């Protein structure tokens, strides 16, 4: 599913080097983590970069669908 959204549409996010960052711990269902690790390896990128791309993509998509949002509101 993620592959259809991002890589098939050739949407790539560049994470600038030397940016300030914070370390966060997240819990993922094992099948999802496995799928993300495989996708990162297939595209020759780090797991961390993939997670950053996923988050940026989701945030950008939320912003572009604000007027169509009917089920849930995110603040």
Q: How confident is the model at residue 1 (pLDDT cuts 50, 70, 90)?
A: very low
Say what the pTM is. 0.62
Domain extent, residue 38, equals: 2-17+25-63
Question: Does the residue 13 lie in any domain?
Answer: yes
Per-residue model confidence (pLDDT) at position 64: 76
Per-residue model confidence (pLDDT) at position 36: 97
Question: Does the residue 70 lie in any domain?
Answer: no
Indicate the helix (H) or strand (E) that contains 50: helix 47-64
Question: Does the residue 73 lie in any domain?
Answer: no
Per-residue model confidence (pLDDT) at position 8: 41
Per-residue model confidence (pLDDT) at position 53: 92
Question: Does the residue 41 lie in any domain?
Answer: yes
Per DSSP, the residues of 23-46 read -------HHHHHHHHHHHHHTT--
Using one digit for the tens of pLDDT, what is the confidence trace for 21-61?
Answer: 888 999 999 999 999 999 999 999 999 999 999 999 999 99
The structural domain count of the chain equals: 1
Which bin fits 48, alpha (ψ -120 to 50), beta or left (φ > 0)?
Answer: alpha
């Amino acid at each position: 599913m993620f592959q259809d959204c991002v890589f098939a549409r050739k949407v790539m996010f560049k994470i600038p080097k030397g940016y300030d960052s914070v370390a966060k711990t997240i819990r993922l269902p094992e099948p999802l983590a496995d799928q993300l690790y495989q996708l990162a390896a297939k595209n020759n990128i780090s797991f961390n970069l993939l997670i950053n791309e996923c988050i940026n993509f989701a945030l950008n998509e939320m912003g572009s669908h604000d007027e169509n949002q009917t089920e849930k509101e995110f603040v």
